[in-house]
Every structure is written in structure tokens, then in C-alpha cells.
């Protein structure tokens, strides 16, 4: 049943393949076609992969290692041929050479799809295991690592919080205009090196945290345990260090003087700068920044307009007007906001194309998933269908939730879905989207691999949009 729904697979049978290669090699010899030595070697490498001739493949690889990721006349890689013909040991050997698993053939199938289609489940399992993104399990998303244990129950424990504040092991992060102080290694100014959060101790911020305008946010305690050789651990008196974010309006240049590290600065509030942290620190920045932006923008009570004060380790604002309705019962106006946004990869009814759009503000050539804020009283599925139709005119049927990502710009929660289109005509809403297009799996795979002339540029890997696209491309065409 499953097989009938698959797109046709080009003839990969060994005999056909060998005949074709022989024809090419003969034709090249007879007509003196410029089939280079490398091309001949490539075809021999592919024949060996299709036959399962690992020793021959190893010999050829000692001459040219780059053979490993290339395709021959058929558009198939060695991995695809080995997967097609059930050569487990060849697949295993290719994977151990960190072979690229994402390329697709002219039927938009990866090696994983091919192994699955031809019933070589031991090979498809091996390919899935070797690449998390192909197993249907997404990698951990950027901003999603919870390095700290939030310990929200401690936010109401004033005595405990005060004790933590003066503890010499407590870590403080300094924020100016909702951006954290960071340092960058001077030797390497390339964008690859993450910004590192500057960590302060109590003595370095004591005066600051006592100022009435300073916002102090309890972020949680470290999850990481010290080595068991640590004397406090042995005595049983060890407690994990607490972390606080300090939001201040003090002069940024003066604040920088407090840091002993070199090359400290406050990065500008751009989306790009927020993607420059290590996985460990990105989640901490997301938490602190969203809460601090909320304090910045919601300093007055939204029920009566009076002033408010900070409570619960900086996770609540209480109205100073004792008559205010917000003091009676629990009110969401007193807590930091999170704005849910649906973000969806819309898949064509043929399952081999996806719909991406671009806003005017995107860099040239970049396309991404459609997205939009969920409206009050709206379910995730309905928001997906409404936003897709509003922005592109395409109608959506099935919606499947895949994963989510906090997006602290300033406080969105991106809810990632795959959505199956039931119509294909595109009519964009020019107010929101400049252009929307259907892209083939082949075009997407080329772009993920930064092929020579990709049809589009995808958003960076830290975004949920990128990961949803990658997830879809790695999955079998049947979804
Ligand atoms: N992490 C990722 O991969 C991506 C993240 N995003 C984020 O998703 C957000 C929403 O996507 P859009 O296409 O802009 O949404 P959208 O399609 O709903 O249009 C934005 C408009 O919705 C209105 N709106 C309704 N509720 C709003 C709220 N709570 N805050 C702000 N505006 C609201 C405003 O008029 C705004 O101009 C973006 O602001 C962006 O930060 C968008 C695409 C990719
Ligand atoms: Mg939108
Ligand atoms: Mg919209
Ligand atoms: Mg909208
Ligand atoms: Zn009030």
C-alpha cells in the first residue's frame, strides 16, 4: 500500500546501472569525449557501491576522497546506490566517513527514503540513527536549552532570595537597555565565535542592585553539579549557585568599567546579535531578556494606570494602588507576557514541494516559513489555516504540531507545525509578504547544502523555520 503512494524511482537496478555506465565509458572512449580520469573514477566508485564492493571503494577513495559525496550520471550518490541494493556494510562505512545524507535524487528521495522504499529497514534505521534530523526527532532548538533550574517556588521565599543575593557564589548578569554585557575573544572576531556573557559576583554589583530603579530577576540555580571531590559536597553543605539578571539604566560606558575581562560590550538589540550565544547561554538570555523587556514596557498597572513594584524574584508586578482590582485574585496583567505565534511549513498536496514566503525586510534571496500571531480565542490549527490563507491565498487541511521555540524578540513563543495544503494557487497579501512560492525538495536540499546556485537562501540554523524545513526534507515524501 505504502509503495503505491511513492513517486516512481528511476531504475537503479544493478544490471541497468552497469550497462549504462559501460555505454558512457565506451562512448567516451570511441568518440574521444572529454570524460576525465576523475569522472571515470567516479563511475567506478559508484559501480563498486552498487555492487557492495567495499575493498574497491576504499582503493578509489585513497586517490580522491571527494568522490564520496558526488553523484554520477544518474544523479545518485554512492550512499543511495548502496541503500538501494541493501549493502549494509557499505552504508555503514560511508556514514563513518561522515558522508552527506541529505542529497536527493531526481525523485526527491534521500538515501533514507530509498532504503525505506525498497524495504531495507536495517539500512533505513541505520541512516536515521546516524542523523537525528532524519529520524523524525528534531535536534534541540536554539534558545531551548534550560541550563538553569528555574525553581519558581523560591520566587516567593524572600529570606531565601536575600540569602542568595549576598552569597559569594551567586552569578549576576548585567543588562543595559535589555542587552547583556558580553565579551568576545580578541583573537577571533569572526562571527563563528559566540559572545560570552560577563559574570559578576555580589561585590561587583552590590551598589547597583540596591538602587530603586534596578530590576533584579531571579533566573534559577545551576543544574550542573560540582565534582564530588569538592569539600562542600563532601560535607553536604553545597548548594547550586543562583543566577540573577540585573537590568539597569546606568550609563553603559560606566557599567563596562566594572568588568575585569577584556573586550566587553553591550551588543545592539538586533535579531542577528541574539543568535550569537552558545547553546548553554542562549536560553538564559531568552529568559532574562523577555522578562526585562516586559518590565520596560509595562511599568504601569494596565488595570488602573498606577505605578507598580517588582515581586516574586522579578516575575510579577504588583499595583501600588491598594484599591486596584488587579490586587483581588489572580490577574494575568501582573505576569510577564508570552505571545504565541504559529509558524508553519506548508506542504504541497503532491508532498514534494513546500510553500515559503519572503518579507520585504528579509535579505535578498531569503525565503522562510509563513508565521503569524495567534488571535484571542483561536486554536493553533485554526491560526495556521487563517494565517496561511491570509498571507498566501493557499488553503490548508491537516495541521500537525512538530516543535516550539521561545523567540525573545521580545517574547514570542513560536509554535512550529507542518500543514498540508488543499489548494495550490498563490495570491499574496502584499502588506505582509512580498512574495510566496512553491519550492521543490530538490531546491530546498540544494539550498541546505549551499549548492553552487541555490534557488533560495534559507533562514539561519538557529531559527525554528530552518529546523522545520530541514525536518521535512529529511522525512519520507509520505510525511
Ligand atoms: N523564529 C523564526 O523562525 C521566525 C520568527 N518569526 C517571528 O514571528 C513573529 C510573527 O510573525 P508575523 O509574520 O510578523 O505575524 P503576523 O503575520 O501575524 O503579522 C504581524 C502583524 O500582526 C499584528 N499583531 C497581532 N498580534 C500581535 C502581537 N502580539 N505582537 C505584534 N504584532 C501583532 C500586527 O499588526 C503585526 O504587524 C515575528 O514578529 C517574528 O518575530 C517569524 C518568522 C520566523
Ligand atoms: Mg506573518
Ligand atoms: Mg499574517
Ligand atoms: Mg496575523
Ligand atoms: Zn492598578
What ipTM is given for this predicted complex?
Answer: 0.97
Which chain residues have CB less than 5 Å from ligand 2, an ion? 371-372
Write the CB contacts of 256 (distance below 8 Å, at least 6 apart in sequence).
181, 264, 265, 266
Residues in the chain: 479
Please report the atom of ligand 1 found closest to the CA of residue 463. Answer: 3
Distance CA 416, CA 399 (A): 10
pLDDT band at 9 (very low <50, low <70, confident <90, very high): very low
Residue 176 bridge partners (DSSP): 179, 248
For ligand 1, atom 32, the nearest C-alpha belongs to 373
For ligand 1, atom 6, the nearest C-alpha belongs to 371
Please report the atom of ligand 1 found closest to the CA of residue 387. Answer: 17
Write the CB contacts of 343 (distance below 8 Å, at least 6 apart in sequence).
369, 370, 371, 414, 415, 416, 417, 464, 465, 468
Q: In the predicted model, what is the mean pLDDT of residues 125-146?
A: 75
Ligand 1 pocket test, candidate residues 341, 404, 408, most atoms within 8 A of CB: 341
For ligand 1, atom 33, the nearest C-alpha belongs to 373
Farthest-apart Cα atoms in the chain, separation: 97
221 has a pLDDT exceeding 80: yes
Task: Tell me what the pLDDT averaged over the chain comes to.
Answer: 87
For ligand 1, atom 17, the nearest C-alpha belongs to 372
pLDDT band at 33 (very low <50, low <70, confident <90, very high): low
User: In the numeric block, which cell numbers belong to residue 82?
Assistant: 548502496
188 has a pLDDT exceeding 60: no
What DSSP element (H or E) covers 344? strand 339-347
Calculate how far, in angstroms, residue 372's C-alpha sits from the geometric centre of ligand 4: 4
Considering only CA atoms, which of 123, 19, 32, 11 is closest in space to residue 74?
A: 11
Distance CA 166, CA 189 (A): 35
Instruction: Please check whether residue 83 is in contact with residue 115, taking contact to mean a CB–CB distance below 8 angstroms.
Output: yes
187 has a pLDDT exceeding 70: no
Domains of the chain are: 35-130 (1.25.40.20), 148-223+240-298 (no CATH), 339-474 (3.90.79.10)
Ligand nearest to the CA of 412: 1
Calculate how far, in angstroms, residue 466's C-alpha sits from the geometric centre of ligand 1: 17
For ligand 1, atom 25, the nearest C-alpha belongs to 373
Q: In the predicted model, what is the mean pLDDT of residues 226-252?
A: 86
Which chain residues have CB less than 5 Å from ligand 5, an ion? 301, 303-304, 306, 319, 321, 324, 326
What is the pTM for the complete model shown?
0.79
Q: pLDDT tens, 390-401?
A: 999 999 999 999
User: In the numeric block, which cell numbers belong to residue 348?
Assistant: 504541497
Distance CA 151, CA 148 (A): 9
Residues lining ligand 1, CB < 6 A? Answer: 339, 341, 343, 368, 371-373, 387, 407, 409, 412, 414, 432, 459, 463-465
Amino acid at each position: 500500500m505504502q509503495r503505491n503512494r511513492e513517486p516512481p524511482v528511476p531504475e537503479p537496478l544493478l544490471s541497468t546501472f552497469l550497462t549504462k555506465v559501460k555505454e558512457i565509458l565506451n562512448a567516451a572512449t570511441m568518440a574521444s569525449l572529454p570524460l576525465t580520469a576523475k569522472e571515470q573514477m567516479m563511475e567506478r566508485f559508484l559501480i563498486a557501491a552498487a555492487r557492495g564492493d567495499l575493498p574497491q571503494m576504499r582503493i578509489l577513495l585513497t586517490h580522491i576522497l571527494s568522490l564520496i559525496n558526488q553523484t554520477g550520471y544518474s544523479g545518485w550518490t554512492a550512499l543511495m546506490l548502496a541503500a538501494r541494493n541493501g549493502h549494509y556494510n557499505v552504508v555503514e562505512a560511508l556514514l563513518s566517513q561522515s558522508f552527506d545524507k541529505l542529497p536527493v535524487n531526481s525523485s526527491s528521495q534521500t538515501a533514507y527514503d530509498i532504503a525505506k522504499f525498497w524495504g531495507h529497514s536495517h539500512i533505513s534505521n541505520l541512516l536515521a540513527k546516524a542523523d537525528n534530523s532524519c529520524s523524525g526527532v528534531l535536534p534541540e532548538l536554539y534558545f531551548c536549552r534550560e541550563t538553569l533550574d528555574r525553581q519558581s517556588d523560591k520566587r516567593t521565599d524572600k529570606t531565601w532570595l536575600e540569602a542568595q543575593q549576598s552569597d559569594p557564589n551567586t552569578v549576576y548578569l548585567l543588562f543595559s537597555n535589555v542587552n547583556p554585557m558580553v565579551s568576545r575573544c580578541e583573537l577571533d572576531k569572526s562571527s563563528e565565535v559566540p559572545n560570552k556573557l560577563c559574570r559578576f559576583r555580589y561585590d561587583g554589583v552590590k551598589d547597583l542592585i540596591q538602587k530603586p530603579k534596578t530590576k533584579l530577576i531571579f533566573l534559577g540555580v545551576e543544574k550542573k553539579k560540582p565534582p564530588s571531590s569538592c569539600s562542600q559536597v563532601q560535607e553536604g553543605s553545597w548548594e547550586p549557585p543562583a543566577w540573577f539578571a540585573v537590568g539597569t539604566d546606568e550609563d553603559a560606558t560606566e557599567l563596562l568599567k566594572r568588568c575585569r575581562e577584556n573586550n566587553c560590550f553591550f551588543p545592539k538589540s538586533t535579531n542577528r546579535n541574539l543568535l550569537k550565544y552558545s547553546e548553554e547561554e542562549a536560553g538564559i538570555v531568552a529568559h532574562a531578556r523577555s522578562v526585562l523587556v516586559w518590565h520596560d514596557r509595562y511599568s504601569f498597572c494596565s488595570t488602573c494606570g498606577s505605578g507598580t513594584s517588582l515581586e516574586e524574584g522579578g516575575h510579577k508586578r504588583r499595583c501600588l494602588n491598594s484599591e486596584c482590582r488587579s490586587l483581588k485574585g489572580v490577574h494575568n496583567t501582573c505576569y510577564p507576557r508570552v505571545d504565541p505565534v504559529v509558524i508553519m511549513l506548508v506542504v504541497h498536496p503532491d508532498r514534494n514541494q513546500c510553500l515559503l514566503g519572503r518579507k520585504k525586510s528579509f535579505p535578498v534571496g531569503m525565503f522562510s516559513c509563513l508565521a503569524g500571531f495567534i488571535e484571542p480565542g483561536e486554536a493553533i490549527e485554526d491560526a495556521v489555516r487563517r494565517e496561511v490563507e491570509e498571507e498566501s491565498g493557499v488553503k490548508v487541511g491537516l495541521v500537525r504540531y512538530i516543535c516550539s521555540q521561545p523567540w525573545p524578540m521580545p517574547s514570542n513563543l513560536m509554535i512550529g507545525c507542518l500543514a498540508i495544503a488543499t489548494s495550490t494557487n498563490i495570491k499574496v497579501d502584499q502588506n505582509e509578504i512580498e512574495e510566496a512560492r512553491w519550492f521543490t525538495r530538490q531546491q530546498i536540499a540544494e539550498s541546505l547544502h549551499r549548492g553552487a546556485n541555490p534557488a533560495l537562501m534559507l533562514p539561519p540554523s538557529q531559527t525554528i523555520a530552518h529546523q522545520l524545513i530541514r525536518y521535512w526534507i529529511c522525512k519520507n515524501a509520505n510525511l
